[in-house]
Amino acid sequence: MAVLCRPVVWVPENTISMEETLALASRLHSGHEKLPLVLRMIKNTGVVKRHLVQPLAQTLAHPGFEARNRLYVREARLRVPAVVEQALAFADVTARDIQAIVFVSCTGFTMPPLTSWMINELGFRPDTRQVPIAQLGCAAGGAAINRAHDFCRAYPDANVLIVACEFCSLCYQPDDLDLGSLLSDGLFGDAIAAAVMRGQGGEGMRMVANASHLVPDTEDWIAYEVKSTGFHFRLDRRVPGTMNVLTPALRTLAGAHGWDASKLGFYIIHAGGPRILDDLCHYLKVPPTAFRHSRATLTEYGNIASAVVFDALRRQFDEGLTEGSRGLLAGFGPGITAETSLGTWSCGETVRVGRQAHSSDVSHALHP
């Protein structure tokens, strides 16, 4: 069975705290009739700190959609290689061992996709399959894992590299006074994540099954309004209440394999916000500690979109699990879409000394 190996997560050195965010919102939108509501919403996110790909002063400026997209491409090409290199090392494979690359991002656009650049520049074979996903937002992390799993089921000996690159701060819109946009200014952060799914061997989440579920007639509840100034985030107030609709889909997937979704050994859940996590705890009937890794990601990095599930999984690796522990991974996003995986924990084989670094070393190597 395919195994999702230890992820690598990089965040930029520039940071903004909750206190700075609230002060900025108060200063920049002092005349907004719903400012008290906006400030309360930002406080309720519980996001203590976020990381930004640019210094704050540059983030607050808006040089135009074209300039921002150029920055997205430049920073992605600068930062992705080191993240990919470490992810390959963690999986004990090389670029030549990879048969497909799944690249997900909703905060910038390129054509050809960045997978083409990676194949040309980072040593991957010319016959490497490319699977770029650009429009699934926060659900794309789960979707990337599921598409990699599908590929490994079709080609059992294949290895798939997954990369999530999200520079959410490049979507900041200083003149957008929509409540969803203002909330996003205090919720989202920037990050790059990468992980390898090995067709054979490896330590990590041994994939058992995956599924997608879309809630009918909710396609405009999480959306981008694309304007000349770029992507404008839109969020319907009904989104936090979708967990009561999505939970049965999670239970159905688990039940199809004889598992009880309420009694698993680990949970890797997209941290869209605290209400999402609280509601899912309630409907799944699990204690709040079940989502401790997702909550830690939200607190320390904010919502880093498709990269969230990889950071939560990274934290699970650091904590450790026993062989065979059953778990659930789920990403939620536009659609409203849920991308869900089931897996058991594989402790794998001992990796050759020198090929892998401990996760604490990754923090020093890739984080500021």
- Residue 224, beta-bridge partner list: 233
Residue 168 known to be catalytic: no
Consecutive H or E run containing 120: helix 114-121
Q: Are 2 and 148 in contact (CB under 8 A)?
A: yes
Helix axes 292-301, 308-319, angle to 10 degrees: 120
Nearest residue to 266 (alpha-carbon basis) of 322, 216, 323, 326: 326
pTM of the model: 0.92
Residues 6+ apart with CB under 8 A from 192: 9, 10, 76, 79, 80, 83, 163, 164, 165, 166, 307
In percent, how much of the chain has pLDDT > 70? 95
Exposed, middle or buried, 52 (CB in 10 Å: 0-12/13-18/19+)? buried
Q: Which pLDDT band holds residue 368 (cuts at 50, 70, 90)?
A: very low
Q: Which pLDDT band holds residue 150 (cuts at 50, 70, 90)?
A: very high
CA of residue 201 relative to chain centroid, distance: 24
CA of residue 367 relative to chain centroid, distance: 17
Nearest residue to 114 (alpha-carbon basis) of 138, 137, 131: 131
Residue length of the chain:
368
Largest separation between any pair of C-alpha atoms in the chain: 60
In percent, how much of the chain has pLDDT > 90? 81
Domains 3-198 and 204-348 equal at CATH topology level: yes
What is the rounded distance in angstroms from the CA atom of residue 202 to the CA atom of residue 348? 5
Q: Which pLDDT band holds residue 349 (cuts at 50, 70, 90)?
A: low
Helix axes 359-366, 65-91, angle to 10 degrees: 150
Coil, strand or helix at 64: coil
Q: Which pLDDT band holds residue 33 (cuts at 50, 70, 90)?
A: confident
Range 204-348 classified under CATH 3.40.47.10: yes
What is the rounded distance in angstroms from the CA atom of residue 359 to the CA atom of residue 368? 15
Q: Are 198 and 158 in contact (CB under 8 A)?
A: no
Mean pLDDT within 144-150: 98
Catalytic residue among 138, 165, 171, 281: 138
Question: How much is the CA Rg of the chain, to the nearest whole Å?
Answer: 19
Q: Does residue 358 carry a pLDDT above 80?
A: no
Nearest residue to 129 (alpha-carbon basis) of 96, 93, 99: 99
Residues 6+ apart with CB under 8 A from 139: 270, 306, 331, 332, 333, 334, 335, 337, 338, 339
| pLDDT digit string, tens, across residues 306-340 | 999 999 999 999 999 999 999 999 999 999 999 99
What is the rounded distance in angstroms from the CA atom of residue 207 to the CA atom of residue 2? 6
Domain ranges of the chain: 3-198, 204-348
Q: Are 151 and 129 in contact (CB under 8 A)?
A: yes
Return the residue matching tokens 């107030």.
237
Q: Does residue 353 carry a pLDDT above 50?
A: no
Instruction: Give the CATH superfamily of 3-198.
Output: Thiolase/Chalcone synthase (3.40.47.10)
What is the rounded distance in angstroms from the CA atom of residue 52 to the CA atom of residue 45? 17
What is the rounded distance in angstroms from the CA atom of residue 76 to the CA atom of residue 53? 10
Nearest residue to 134 (alpha-carbon basis) of 54, 75, 61, 72: 72
| pLDDT digit string, tens, across residues 47-101 | 999 999 999 999 999 999 999 999 999 999 999 999 999 999 999 999 999 999 9
| pLDDT digit string, tens, across residues 196-237 | 999 999 999 999 999 999 999 999 998 988 999 999 888 888
| pLDDT digit string, tens, across residues 262-303 | 999 999 999 788 889 999 999 999 999 999 999 999 999 999
